[in-house]
A = this chain, B = another copy of it.
């Protein structure tokens, strides 16, 4: 009897997700066709629906996989003895996907999906909450250590998160320069976190 090979299954699943990411980033959830995803992945349509029950589930999986790495980054940041250095590492992680050219398109697709798929909205909200809670906890500790925050910790946390999000919008521009953007982001974050 033939048995299931988990490693092979995972590899193919990842390959399908990668093809799907390209299509979704380019055309959004409604604009992307399962046929195009299959063509790009080099599989028949039956195979796609063997791995994922619907097109929406495919989109969902794309983001769920990412949430796990975020959780881990938050855990590590909180474990850091120095809250400022924990915050820096968390910001670095949040920014780490900036180089991926698919990210702006996927972000736009996700924004639309939040209004339409409540389960997807819950996934995104949980991710957001986790990031904000972690940032706030770190900023609380920094404030206790005497940092001079321009706003209360929870509000600073929100601004840090917002400004990072806005970077992903900027990443769409033709003359985007990650190098100087990141340098400037660190300067702005330093001011926001009372380390000007």
Chain A interface (Cβ within 8 Å of chain B)? 25-31, 104-105, 107-109, 111-112, 114-116, 128, 150-151, 155, 158-159, 162-163, 165-167, 169-170, 172-173, 180, 184, 187-188, 191-192
A13 to B191, CA, bound (A): 48
Asked whether A167 lies within 8 Å of B162 as measured between CB atoms, the reply is yes
Q: Which 10 A-B pairs have the closest CB atoms?
A: A166-B166, A108-B111, A30-B30, A30-B31, A162-B166, A28-B112, A108-B112, A108-B108, A165-B169, A162-B170
Asked whether A116 lies within 8 Å of B191 as measured between CB atoms, the reply is no
- A177, closest chain B residue (CB): B155
Q: Point out the residues of chain B lying under 8 angstroms from A25, CB to CB.
A: 115
